[in-house]
Chain A
């Protein structure tokens, strides 16, 4: 039995313990061409050796400032962009070698930030949702029927909405349509790239609740990319913090929000206003802009803005080191014997 067939029948190695998605050393460098001959004059390390896992049924939140590579990571996962190197395993199967990209896209779908740009303005809502199944060879009547089912699932009455065009809908309604479109191929993993960032707060809450409901009723797994720390805290089981294309810290949501170890994570969280005066973080707010990704700093990428930076931070890049159970941070202060004055001595 080939890997693809095994996937379809849900018989994959490892059972429930097998992570749905495993990412290893994922890299994407964008060349910047210049000069008369279009030679590569510089590269942007958009995603630089990212590694993580997503368990079945969990929600992994990815946070970071603009330009930290979170959207590029999302697009790499569904192969809208080809990675330079690294491995993505979906349900235990290596994408590209054991299962083809087409098969990956059966199991993984994506919801984009811009609800208007992600719907074809010339297609009706039902045609947009039915497009995926139609491409996969589902008969038209059946695909339209399925589209109506999905519209009901995301809380839109098909009789009222199915034949409308995207410009006749509100932002929240369009994002519901985008979710329905992503669900049309019955994926197991949904990549949500800033799905609520462009919505009003009240609509945002409705769409988030819809996502939580859908996850439970359909047994989905989410990767939720956002720069909104409150939203990520609400929806995620685990959180991954990215900085300039690398993972700064990853761990369970409570650990990240209560006991962040990386100075960058702490600085991000301190920028988040707390409702409780006693729980205010005492961390200094982060200073300056992120460094230019074309010429990233040496060593730890954060040392230019880090209040605890020492000599070792400038020379060596810290590896992601385990802090506690399932909680890791890429900081010399957490690496025993790293040479940082705050690090524990080597065991």
Chain B
């Protein structure tokens, strides 16, 4: 920051390039980013990694321990290769972890910014409706909606989206209300700008950051809830590999092969803690004012 005071230096570049530079200087964020990228890329390119068939089981090779030759991470209760199932399982787990949060980010921001900017009766209508969803604990709400819609991946995406819209909308509304009352919004109105221009130029670039940070912190919750739905049989159906479902089916083997049974949980833990640490890093990187 001190360097900026010197006139000889080139002018500061855009806000997002400054954020990017700060993110790259943050070792924890970079490490988490690399881990997540590796897991995501492995899930996407799973068929080309030369892994075993994640569906082919073998009764005689059930529950082999970690490190068995040919089965790096052992086998599950039906003799299927754990490594292959964990990598393939990332496809569904990440999908139902990320997509609901993304959907909720779009819908919640739309609702929250509208409510916060327009204020008055529209604000009351939107926010009180959203409050209704707060009456239920999020896990219960997800289970209830999934139960009503029936099992299936898309239904769990829908139910998790509904679970995450209220908190995101609420954050969006409170940030927007704060920004809307700042003098620069009045100055923009005094310049003759219409509401759409004001939202686009002056509101969104001040509220998207905090909402985005909040949303990334929900990814881990979403993954755990999605795993929970699969665990209860409301999400993915067997034999589809998915971390939550794997956790459920391996639960009976916990006394025989506790390490194997812990593997899907470890994956969920690694991915969600990486997303959480990254969202922390993002938050401090976006606070350029420091």
B186 touches A164 (CB 8 A): no
B191 touches A135 (CB 8 A): yes
User: In the complex, which residues of chain B have a beta carbon less than 8 angstroms from the beta carbon of A80?
Assistant: 186, 189-190
- Determine if B132 is an interface residue (Cβ-Cβ < 8 Å): no
A136 touches B192 (CB 8 A): yes
- Determine if B49 is an interface residue (Cβ-Cβ < 8 Å): no
User: In the complex, which residues of chain B have a beta carbon less than 8 angstroms from the beta carbon of A160?
Assistant: 7, 11
Closest residue to B198 on the A side, CB-wise? A135
B4 touches A168 (CB 8 A): yes
A164 touches B206 (CB 8 A): no
- Determine if A110 is an interface residue (Cβ-Cβ < 8 Å): yes
CA distance A334 to B184 in the complex (A): 43
A110 touches B288 (CB 8 A): no
* Contacts A113-B183, A131-B201, A163-B11 supplied; 13 other A-B pairs, CB < 8 Å: A75-B186, A117-B182, A117-B183, A119-B184, A120-B184, A120-B202, A131-B191, A135-B191, A157-B7, A160-B7, A165-B15, A165-B288, A184-B191
User: In the complex, which residues of chain B have a beta carbon less than 8 angstroms from the beta carbon of A163?
Assistant: 11-12
Binary contact track A167-200/B, C-beta < 8 Å → 1, others 0: 1100000000010011011000000000000000
User: In the complex, which residues of chain A have a beta carbon less than 8 angstroms from the beta carbon of B205?
Assistant: 120, 122-123
User: In the complex, which residues of chain A have a beta carbon less than 8 angstroms from the beta carbon of B288?
Assistant: 165, 167
User: In the complex, which residues of chain A have a beta carbon less than 8 angstroms from the beta carbon of B184?
Assistant: 117-120, 128
User: In the complex, which residues of chain B have a beta carbon less than 8 angstroms from the beta carbon of A118?
Assistant: 182-184, 186-187
Q: How far is the CB of A181 from chain B (nearest CB, A)?
A: 7
CA distance A216 to B170 in the complex (A): 50
Given A122-B15, A164-B11, A167-B289, A185 and B191 contact (CB-CB distance below 8 Å): yes
Closest residue to B179 on the A side, CB-wise? A120
- Determine if B118 is an interface residue (Cβ-Cβ < 8 Å): no
Closest residue to A101 on the B side, CB-wise? B192
- Determine if B193 is an interface residue (Cβ-Cβ < 8 Å): yes
B206 touches A131 (CB 8 A): no
Closest residue to B8 on the A side, CB-wise? A160
Q: How far is the CB of B209 from chain A (nearest CB, A)?
A: 9
CA distance A136 to B184 in the complex (A): 17
Size of the B side of the interface (Cβ < 8 Å), in residues, is 24
Q: How far is the CB of B215 from chain A (nearest CB, A)?
A: 19
Chain B, 207-250, CB within 8 A of any chain A CB: none
Binary contact track A110-135/B, C-beta < 8 Å → 1, others 0: 10111001111111000010011001
A122 touches B187 (CB 8 A): no
A135 touches B190 (CB 8 A): no
CA distance A178 to B191 in the complex (A): 12
- Determine if A343 is an interface residue (Cβ-Cβ < 8 Å): no
CA distance A117 to B11 in the complex (A): 22
A164 touches B191 (CB 8 A): no
Given A122-B206, A135-B197, A105 and B190 contact (CB-CB distance below 8 Å): yes
Closest residue to A120 on the B side, CB-wise? B184
User: In the complex, which residues of chain B have a beta carbon less than 8 angstroms from the beta carbon of A108?
Assistant: 190
CA distance A118 to B1 in the complex (A): 22
Q: How far is the CB of B197 from chain A (nearest CB, A)?
A: 6
How many A-B contacts are there with CB distance less than 8 Å? 82
* Chain A interface (Cβ < 8 Å from any Cβ of B): 75, 78, 80, 102, 105-106, 108-110, 112-114, 117-123, 128, 131-132, 135-136, 157, 160, 162-165, 167-168, 178, 181-182, 184-185
Closest residue to B16 on the A side, CB-wise? A122
Closest residue to B205 on the A side, CB-wise? A122
- B188, B192, B288, most chain A CB atoms within 10 A: B192
CA distance A105 to B191 in the complex (A): 6
The 8 A-B pairs at the shortest CB distance, nearest first, are namely A163-B11, A132-B191, A118-B183, A112-B183, A122-B205, A135-B193, A117-B183, A117-B182
B15 touches A110 (CB 8 A): no
A-B contact pairs, 6 of them (CB 8 A): A118-B182, A118-B186, A122-B206, A165-B15, A168-B12, A185-B192
CA distance A183 to B92 in the complex (A): 57
B197 touches A164 (CB 8 A): no
User: In the complex, which residues of chain B have a beta carbon less than 8 angstroms from the beta carbon of A131?
Assistant: 188, 191, 193, 201
User: In the complex, which residues of chain A have a beta carbon less than 8 angstroms from the beta carbon of B7?
Assistant: 157, 160
CA distance A181 to B202 in the complex (A): 15
CA distance A323 to B140 in the complex (A): 75
CA distance A80 to B198 in the complex (A): 14
User: In the complex, which residues of chain B have a beta carbon less than 8 angstroms from the beta carbon of A184?
Assistant: 191
Q: How far is the CB of B177 from chain A (nearest CB, A)?
A: 14
- A80, A113, A162, A164, most chain B CB atoms within 10 A: A80
CA distance A131 to B190 in the complex (A): 11
CA distance A236 to B208 in the complex (A): 43
Q: How far is the CB of B151 from chain A (nearest CB, A)?
A: 43
Q: How far is the CB of A254 from chain B (nearest CB, A)?
A: 32
Chain B, 134-191, CB within 8 A of any chain A CB: 182-184, 186-191
CA distance A120 to B200 in the complex (A): 12
- B12, B183, B193, most chain A CB atoms within 10 A: B183
User: In the complex, which residues of chain A have a beta carbon less than 8 angstroms from the beta carbon of B15?
Assistant: 122, 165
A105 touches B192 (CB 8 A): yes
A164 touches B12 (CB 8 A): yes
CA distance A109 to B205 in the complex (A): 24
Closest residue to B1 on the A side, CB-wise? A168
Binary contact track B1-33/A, C-beta < 8 Å → 1, others 0: 100100100011001000000000000000000
User: In the complex, which residues of chain B have a beta carbon less than 8 angstroms from the beta carbon of A135?
Assistant: 188, 191-193, 197
Q: How far is the CB of B15 from chain A (nearest CB, A)?
A: 6
CA distance A162 to B183 in the complex (A): 21
Closest residue to B193 on the A side, CB-wise? A135
CA distance A314 to B171 in the complex (A): 50
